Amino acid sequence: MPRLNQIIAVEKGVKSRSLAEITEAHHQLQKPTLLGGIARTYRPRDEEGETLPPESTRVQVRAEDILRQTAAILTELFDVTATKDWANCEAKADVVIGERVLLREVPVSYLLFLEKQLNDLNTFVRKLPVLDASESWTFDPGADAYATEPVQTLRTRKVPRNHVKAEATDKHPPQVEVYYEDVTVGYWRTVKFSGALPAQRIHELQTRVQKLQQAVKFAREEANAHEVTPQTPGEKVFAYLLDS
């Protein structure tokens, strides 16, 4: 008996061939010259008249023949597709990671869906924001975010000071130069927070997604190896449609 993966392999070819042949049949039916024929014979008015040979054009395309050909073409397509769809209802496999059966008896159609979603999810995980590696981070439950160790910095203010360059004399006032000195007036305590993830966490997520992707592919291959029972609805469909 054929297997599901074999039916899937031939289905695309059957579809393409069916489309091409039906398109050609449609074009033939649109050409009146192929559908038409004629037979003419000439009889002179009297025995002394000129004799001309008969003329004829045969019908090259018969609509009824095209209908039967189209039915034969589509019967194959209907049967192949039915065999695949009937088998898809029965083809199932477990998704296994290591020794753990994550999902049991998953239909092949869902495995295909899951495979596509995991591809998208893998892309999503690769683009997750990563914590700045130049900082040391720990998770702060109170802030529900990652936080750095507190860093203390000074807050200063410029205070004017007088520098006496020359003392006062009987004849000259003192020469004083004003300069500004940075004086500590307080302290900043800074903690940085981030909603990003550690690189290790992202790596773990990527590894899990990739393992699941592989497991789903294995399950799909196993499900596609399911033996199928050929289905033949096409003959019944066209026996009804073409019944005269």
Residue-wise pLDDT for 196-243, tens only, equals 999 999 999 999 999 999 999 999 999 999 889 899 999 999 999 988
Mean pLDDT within 44-57: 87
Q: Could you tell me which residues come within 8 angstroms of residue 100 by beta carbon, excluding any fewer than 6 positions away?
A: none
Q: What's the whole-model pTM score?
A: 0.67
The percentage of the chain sitting over the pLDDT mark of 90, rounded to a whole number, equals 58
pLDDT for residue 192 = 95
The C-alpha atoms of residue 138 and residue 198 are separated, in whole angstroms, by 10
**More confident site: 9 or 169:** 9
User: In a 10 Å sphere around its CB, with 0-12 CB exposed, 13-18 middle and 19+ buried, how is residue 218 labelled?
Assistant: middle
The C-alpha atoms of residue 215 and residue 39 are separated, in whole angstroms, by 71
